[in-house]
Amino acid sequence: MDENEELTEGFSNNEGAPDDALTRVTGMYKDWFLDYASYVILERAVPAIEDGFKPVQRRIMHSLKELDDGRYNKVANVVGHTMQYHPHGDASIADAMVQIGQKDLLIDTQGNWGNILTGDRAAASRYIEARLSKFALEVIFSPKITEWQLSYDGRKKEPVNLPVKFPLLLAQGAEGIAVGLSTKVLPHNFVELIDASIKHLKGKSFKIYPDFPTSGIIDVTNYNDGLRGGKIRVRARIENIDKNTLVIKEIPYGTNTSSLIDSILKANDKGKIKIKKIEDNTAAEVEILVHLPSGISPDKTIDALYAFTACESSISPLGCIIEDNKPIFMGVTEMLRRSTDSTVELLKAELEIQLNELEEQWHFASLERIFIENRIYREIEEEETWEGVIAAIDKGLKPHTKHLRRAVTEEDIVRLTEIRIKRISKFDLDKAKQHLDSLEDRIAETKNFLANLVDFAIDYFQELKKKYAQGRERKSEIRIFDDIEATKVVIRNTKLYVNREEGFVGTSLRRDEYVTDCSDIDDIIVFTKKGEMMVTKVDSKIFVDKNIIHVAVFKKKDKRTTFNMIYKDGRGGPSYIKRFNVTSITRDKMYDLTNGNANSDVLYFSANPNGEAEVITVHLRQSGSIKKLKWDIDFADVLIKGRTSKGNIVTKYPVKRIELKEKGLSTLKPRKIWFDDIVQRLNVDERGELLGEFRPDDLLLVVNQKGFVKTIVPDLNARFDDDMIVLEKWNPDKPISAIYYDGEKERYYIKRFLIENANREDLIITEHPKSQLELISTDWRPVVELEFVKPRGKEAKANHEVDVEDFIAIKGIKALGNQLTSDKVKNINALESLPYEEPQVQSPNEIEVVEEENVDGENTNKPDSDEESQTTLF
């Protein structure tokens, strides 16, 4: 007896009945779950490839068509009508209808249908109205080629699939969760889908990417054609109004302004970001104002909003559709090909039906003409029986039917007998010929369409684009995103303390020594007197080891922070000097920075964010016959190596103390910085245009089209406006030349100036709303050419070259400048600048960082010999 039979043993329909009266349920529920799962997949959650509709959506559209009379219908009425076909509750039908209506493609809506931007729900179905859009009427319905089936109760007929002649599934998108299966087809751009269909029909390759009604910015690098495993990143469009205000103008797909604001407030409460207040001014368009406290960087806050809030999210598509009553996985490219090919077949079927109808019209019109023109109707006057009438007409027609395209049937003759006497008496032979000629032309045209079906389909798509593309341009901007490191943009929301003697580090040690501000996602690096180092996560209280000498927030892959160290190797051993970086480690692992001998001790230690090399004084203890007890060492003479490097010998004698004699300058090579125009970010990874080599005090010059000029620190987290026209390394001694149009005086002015205050933004044109920057040059000796407007009835004035250096002297940044010309100017062109030799700047000695660490931080470049590693400084 199996488990199912055990469940039924001892149970019967009648108490006390014999065992043979038991009703066994074994096997009855064996396939129930599979049946239920199949039903949910096929009948509720997943759209069909043929028309892109789920069953409830298809039934809504069918009901709208049945109710269509050109006027609006109450949604409640449509829902009630749909319930004749859909065996589920009215709420599910109303929700599905609202979702279709909000996509603004198939349903022409009236009333409050909700707001996808704010998340507001639609009004009750009795208050809102709908009708089919002109687009839906044109591309979705064609009863003559529709396959029909009985509704669930057998009282009505409903379409198996609607004959949709457009890639509707990709235009609207689809999302559903079934039993053990889900689908997520993202919406695509209407115009791009039509263009892709045309390319497919022409045999060309194409690519299509999502486009969302909420707009926003999207990165489709890993879209993977909409298949499982793909991912797209979506971001809100955030702009910087001023130094204390950000505005969110577009939101990511899948969010609304309410959920977005909630996520920002939560991030603020957790200390990830710092904001003053939020204002939601969203109406027809999104406008969320984020006010920042003074002293908070807007650029870093924008990155933090992307890193810690719903301003950036990832969407994973999953292209699952129903084909031949089976769920299959398919990419969006193949979906579009299938839809386009299906459209061609549907157009072919419509043309064939149209051709057949035209030929039937031509056939009967020809018979009618023969019947009336040859007065065959008179031959039935003597006939007394119906059979005789049919035979008489058939006999009268035979001499005249040789040119017909098919044989005359009894049905044709019956139709002839139904012609009224009034029609016969008013028969016009010329009009009959014109009608036949018109039918023949239409038949020839239809045959031509069938013979050139692909061209006909291309024309069909082009006509759709012409009629309905207006206002359906791409909303989501496609852009490659930069990767944002959360640790670099998080607000330092807590304080780090250290108890050096006891060896504790943490945020709860408020009675101990304050180290720095930090965040709860930071790593910290700790060095001890024994010459050991460890990186660990920030926590309330962590024990590292006793006698801590340095604690700081750890920056991963930081090749510029240089640690200078002198240590004694074991008890009575020599002292070594070394310089090193820490770029990558294993968290919570203790690393030994000495030679590994017991009782090693750090004699001197400093951390230098830009590779600074100080000068120190070493004092020895009086011992034996030592002659020199004091001398200076410059760390600039020590090569920067990996942390596992042993270092160079300082002395073999005991060290009394080491003193700092002179603070040092950076010994690192200037950092090369590039600008990647694709992601609008600075980088040190050789992506984009090289801006130059930057030392710690070097700045960037930034000018935008609005006429604002500023210099900024080359921070890799800095953001740049789309209207930026100048970005280069700033030379404080190089003048900037600008030509602008003064809106008030309606004249062109030219000015030359130097930046007077670094790290400040200045407007270099007048504030009149019609003023605009025409040309700006950062060359030493620029030359421009003026093209003048031709006066009516006169010759145009010859082009004029202007040597800017000769035309105007260097003045203040706020100066109006000199009027360029009083004539009307057509164009101002920049010519090749005059030669100029820049003065050479003597560079100090530079040290190149020696790469000695692999990914996990272990040494891969040990010294070639012990002799090299133990060079004695004294």
**DSSP symbol at 710:** E
Q: What is the DSSP letter of 120?
A: B
Tokens of 515: 């180290």
CA-based nearest residue to 221, from 320, 311, 314, 303: 314
**Rounded Cα gap, residues 62 and 147, in angstroms:** 13
∠ CA 535-606-502, rounded to 5°: 55
Sign of the torsion formed by the C-alpha atoms of 121, 125, 129 and 132: positive
Whether the Cβ atoms of residue 221 and residue 209 lie closer than 8 Å to each other: no
Structure token digits, residue 132? 């089919």
Instruction: Give the angle subtended at the CA of 497 by the CAs of 494 and 499, to the nearest 5°.
Output: 165
Contact predicate 544/505, CB 8 Å = yes
Can you tell me the distance from the alpha carbon of 273 to that of 256, in angstroms, rounded to the nearest whole number?
20
Show the tokens assigned to 243.
């130094």
**3 state SS of 451:** helix
Burial tier of 592 (Cβ tally within 10 Å: 0-12, 13-18, 19+) = middle
Backbone angles phi, psi at 251, to 5 degrees: -120, 160
Judge contact between 598 and 641, C-beta under 8 A: no
With CA atoms as reference, report the closest residue to 320 among 41, 554, 527.
41
Q: What is the DSSP string of 654-673?
A: PEEEEEEEE---B-BPPEEE
Q: In the numeric block, which tokens belong to residue 623? A: 């011992």
User: For residues 518 and 504, what is the distance between their CA atoms, to the nearest angstrom?
Assistant: 16
Report yes or no: 210 and 458 within 8 Å, Cβ to Cβ: no
Residue 482 Cα distances to 236, 368, 675, 680, angstroms: 14, 76, 12, 8
How far apart CA 658 and CA 619 sit, in angstroms, is 6
DSSP letters for 565-600: EEEE-STT--EEEEEEE-----TT--EE-S-S-TT-
Q: Which of 127, 152, 514, 836 is the catalytic position?
A: 127
CA pair distance 586, 696, nearest whole angstrom: 30
Q: What is the C-alpha R_g of the chain?
A: 41
Which of 230, 234, 195 is CA-nearest to residue 215?
234
The DSSP string of 150-172 is: E-TTSSSEEEEE----S-HHHHH
The conformational region for residue 295 under phi > 0 = left, psi -120 to 50 = alpha, else beta, is left
Q: Do 816 and 766 meet the contact criterion of CB atoms below 8 Å apart?
A: yes
Residue-wise burial string across 349-375, b where 16 or more C-beta atoms lie within 10 A, e elsewhere:
ebbeebbeebbebbbebbbbbbbbeee
Neighbours of 107 (CB within 10 A): 24
Query: Do 289 and 281 touch, CB atoms closer than 8 A?
Result: yes
Tokens in use for 777?
A: 């040059």
Residue 442 structure tokens: 């239409």
Would residue 836 show up in a list of annotated catalytic residues for this protein? no
Q: How far apart are the first and last CA of the chain?
A: 93
Hunting for tokens 């009438």 — which residue is that? 389
Q: Cite the active site residues.
A: 127
